[in-house]
Amino acid sequence: MADWAGAVRAANFAFRKSSMPRVDFADLGFENPEQELMKAMLTLKIFRLIRERGLTQTQAAEMLGIKQPQVSLLMRNRASSFSVGKLKALLTALGQDIQIVVKPAKREHGELSVLVG
């Protein structure tokens, strides 16, 4: 299986430009490409919120209840050690609401999609 951090670093230029990287995680060999895309999108939202608020990494760490080196990883788009659940918890700590909607699939198998506002 491909390395999550390495794959996302490949799209780092787009991330730094604050636009969602156009990375096809399935083509990169990930077993769960939808989950990797979700992690990338949640990490990008955390990055944007910290930047928009002008927080230092130390201030963000305090607010999020994590250590500054972990914030540094998030800000450099290296969130491989964070689960989707942890990323969602960080977003709620930043004052964001998270809504999960489950509905019948249009095809035989359902799919995962993420909308980040």
How many other C-beta atoms can be found within 10 angstroms of the C-beta atom of residue 107? 6
Residues 6+ apart with CB under 8 A from 50: 57, 60, 71, 74, 75, 94
Flag whether 101 is in a domain: no
Region of 54 on the Ramachandran plot (φ > 0 left; ψ -120 to 50 alpha; else beta): left
Flag whether 80 is in a domain: yes
- What is the number of domains present in the chain? 1
Flag whether 17 is in a domain: yes
Q: How far is CA 113 from the centre of its chain?
A: 13
Instruction: Check: CB of residue 46 under 8 Å from CB of residue 91.
Output: yes
pTM for this model (two decimals) = 0.71
Per-residue pLDDT of the chain (117 residues; tens, 9 = 90+): 344 445 444 444 344 444 544 555 556 566 777 788 888 889 999 999 999 999 999 999 999 999 999 999 999 988 778 999 999 999 999 999 998 888 898 888 887 777 777
